[in-house]
Structure 1
Amino acid sequence: MKYSSIRPGQMWLDTEGKPIQAHGGSIITVGDTFYWFGENKEKTKPGSGIWHWGVRCYASKDMYNWEDKGLIIPPNLEDESSPLHPTQYMDRPHIIFNQKTRKFVCWLKIMKKAGTQESTVLTADHILGPYTMERRDLRPLNMSAGDFDLIISPDGKAYYYFERVHSELICADLTADYTDVTGYYSTHFPKIQPPYVREAPAYFYRKGLHYLFTSGTTGYHPNPSEVACAKTFHGSWNILGNPHAQDTSCTSYNSQITSVFKHPFKKDLYIALADRWIPNLPELGGEAFGNGDKYRKTAEQFRAIFDPETDYVPTEDHHDDLAVDTSVSTYVWLPVRFDGEMAYLDWHDEWKLEDYE
């Protein structure tokens, strides 16, 4: 099947007719080729014990039709302690290119079974690998580091936005080789606990302003997004509101933003890349999904779990809410619409890159 448009939420097949597996991912441009990479979830059925099957990458010239280039970071099947073992909770690969070292640098978030979250850093000479592990079990700034984004400024300096788990968002300067933090950082969006803590930071820059999309903290269950802007990488940040203004379900159109891609060959096209982790959530929630009650119930469950003042008693369907089949997750890509400083994400059943200059 050959595509000529983007259809948010619908199953997206590669050029071989297989579902694309690039979740929690991003796009990087090399020459005139787009590379879309992310978590390979093809084997992550509930009860399988498998969280990931490596990092998969796809190549495209038009951003509609994607050729599978394989596992650029394969799972390590031999060493159960490796952060790349399929049972380890590896999430959200981000890859940036270092002009000075001529290396592609990949950071991975690893959720440890003990409850902490750490980072793994790999490098390669080519976007498609092979990748060499440079650091593992890294606790940046001695913090538990969750969802993140990596940014390179025009002068080549790089920054690392990450969720200090269940606490606040951190902006940390990266070292010159992009494989570690320098020690200089700033803190933002302090919150008491989930579901209020901001995670899934997705950065972009436009017309003198730095932007961040973030989500709340409700596991794989979607929640309202928030957009903020600042005049510098380290803030301070001005919270602008929910970019999904049309969404009555309070679920960001049943999706979670993973990154924002500025199209290099378009004048002013920014695309929010998001995962629809639970495609059948509207059917599961029924009327409660559409009016936001499903989200509010999930948010209350997460609030109660993490609130030490509350004796939490799980509801009957709580376990089902958290047993998610990510192997069938899809994608929601939407163009960003600007109104002054505010960035909006309007719903489109179908849209074309050609509609933008």
Structure 2
Amino acid sequence: MSEERVRYDAFHPGKLWLDTEGKRIQAHGGSVIQIDGVYYWYGENKEKTDGQNGIWHWGVRCYKSTDLYNWEDLGLIIPPEPEDPQSPLYPNNCMDRPHIIYNKKTKKYVCWLKIMNSANIQSETILTADSILGPYEKVKVGFKPLGMNAGDFDLAVAEDGKAYYYFERIHSELICADLTEDYTDVTGYYSTHFPRIAPPYVREAPAHFMRNGKHYLFTSGTTAYLPNPSEVAVADTWHGPYTVLGNPHVDDKSETSFHSQISSVFKVEGKKDLYIACADRWLPEMMDKQYSRYKRIFECIFLQNGKGMEEFEGDEPIVENTSISEYVWLPIRFDGEMAYIDWKDSWRLEDYPDEE
């Protein structure tokens, strides 16, 4: 059932965002790529993920736009495989944070997917296609880069065509690994960053971007769907060393990154210095008193080894319904090297200067 059709002329962070057909946009944990003057936004399709039916995803969905406000649904570019429980694309598997980069040498679009199966084994699935819209063919399944358990990640391509893979080595540190020339493997060369003792302190959800020759990384803590304070770090090279500058959400008294988690950052072409941080508000229903309960449950389970859970006996279970997740897209403000993200109820591209 479609919602009422609307046309947007501004961003409204945290509010319901519909496509041009009036349907809720489903491109979570995703990224935006520009091709021949058109923006493509792709991500996890959560339309069937109600938190109770066991479905984690329904493939990767893609949208296109020329103004960044209004998005046309192009359908599933990587469909789920519900008839094959052994497939990494089986809907009950946790498929997170698809990232697609273009290889000018092979003329292939290369997509990496983070997969966690029912046995809680995490690995990567890598696919390639001749078009951003597919069809995509699996070239690696069950891949463990550098022999490591890999979590949330980002892919980035340098001007010279060399590509890099930033990922969370599960519950320990962040890794930057060089990719092979075809972008479907790692070379073996890597660097380590932000070593932490355990969740929630370990950094995940890396989002890389470059500005004025500097490399930036936004990361979040490891607290599942519970939002937490972001960190921003800067370096002079792809492999760092990275210097942590602090929490970019300086005015966020809730210390939840405005109840969201950054998935990616992109620069708006034609604008002088406009970068947009794209974030997901995974559980919008948890922003009231339910949030405090959810946070307390997390603390009992992960920080107190289960102690204190008796206080929740008899409570209704928390339902992680991500089919209604919203988006928080905000511009990045720079002061020297520091990157800030300020809350805005609404904002427009037209309020930012064009490139000269």
TM-score, with normalisation over the residues of structure 1? Answer: 0.93
Q: Which residue of 2 aligns with 1:261?
A: 266
Tell me, yes or no, if the aligned pair for 1:146 and 1:162 is still in contact at 8 Å.
Answer: yes
Residue 348 (str. 1) matches residue 344 (str. 2): yes
Counterparts of 2:311 and 2:74 in 1: how far apart (Å)?
Answer: 43
Counterparts of 1:159 and 1:356 in 2: how far apart (Å)?
Answer: 30
Counterparts of 1:322 and 1:109 in 2: how far apart (Å)?
Answer: 25
Q: Structure 1 residues 36-45 or 110-119, which shifts more?
A: 110-119
Residue 327 (str. 1) matches residue 315 (str. 2): no
2:226 to 221, 224, 235: 221
SS in 1 for 2:58: coil
User: Using a 3 Å threshold, how does the CA distance of structure 1 residues 77 and 302 change in structure 2: closer, same or farther?
Assistant: same
Residue 304 (str. 1) matches residue 303 (str. 2): yes
The 5-angstrom pairing of residues 87-126 of structure 1 reads 87-126=92-131
Q: Which residue of 1 aligns with 2:309?
A: 314
Tell me, yes or no, if the aligned pair for 1:195 and 1:302 is still in contact at 8 Å.
Answer: no
Letter in 2 for 1:304: L
Counterparts of 1:129 and 1:275 in 2: how far apart (Å)?
Answer: 25
Letter in 2 for 1:140: P
Cα deviation digits, residues 146-182 of structure 1 (max 9, x gap): 0000000111000000000111000000000001111
User: Using a 3 Å threshold, how does the CA distance of structure 1 residues 58 and 315 change in structure 2: closer, same or farther?
Assistant: farther
1:184 positional shift: 0.5
1:313 positional shift: 4.4
Counterparts of 2:193 and 2:121 in 1: how far apart (Å)?
Answer: 20
Counterparts of 1:321 and 1:224 in 2: how far apart (Å)?
Answer: 25
2:90 to 72, 85, 89: 85
Tell me, yes or no, if the aligned pair for 1:250 and 1:295 is still in contact at 8 Å.
Answer: no
User: Using a 3 Å threshold, how does the CA distance of structure 1 residues 315 and 60 change in structure 2: closer, same or farther?
Assistant: farther
Q: Which residue of 1 aligns with 2:8?
A: 3
1:77 positional shift: 1.8
Tell me, yes or no, if the aligned pair for 2:202 and 2:221 is still in contact at 8 Å.
Answer: yes
User: Using a 3 Å threshold, how does the CA distance of structure 1 residues 317 and 113 change in structure 2: closer, same or farther?
Assistant: same
Residue 129 (str. 1) matches residue 134 (str. 2): yes
1:281 positional shift: 1.8
* Superposed CA RMSD: 1.7
1:299 positional shift: 5.8
Letter in 1 for 2:98: P
Counterparts of 1:207 and 1:344 in 2: how far apart (Å)?
Answer: 16
1:64 positional shift: 0.4
Counterparts of 1:350 and 1:314 in 2: how far apart (Å)?
Answer: 40
Counterparts of 1:49 and 1:315 in 2: how far apart (Å)?
Answer: 26
Counterparts of 1:321 and 1:190 in 2: how far apart (Å)?
Answer: 34
SS in 1 for 2:299: helix
User: Using a 3 Å threshold, how does the CA distance of structure 1 residues 342 and 80 change in structure 2: closer, same or farther?
Assistant: same
User: Using a 3 Å threshold, how does the CA distance of structure 1 residues 344 and 50 change in structure 2: closer, same or farther?
Assistant: same
Q: Mark the runs of 5 or more structure 1 residues left unpaired by the alignment.
A: none
Identity level (%) = 63
Counterparts of 2:318 and 2:263 in 1: how far apart (Å)?
Answer: 20
Q: Mark the runs of 5 or more structure 2 residues left unpaired by the alignment.
A: 1-5
Counterparts of 1:37 and 1:21 in 2: how far apart (Å)?
Answer: 8
SS in 2 for 1:280: helix
The 5-angstrom pairing of residues 1-357 of structure 1 reads 1-285=6-290, 297=296, 300-301=299-300, 303-304=302-303, 310=305, 312-314=307-309, 316-317=311-312, 323-357=319-353
Aligned residues: 347
Letter in 2 for 1:207: N
1:300 positional shift: 2.9
Counterparts of 1:320 and 1:38 in 2: how far apart (Å)?
Answer: 31
1:312 positional shift: 3.6
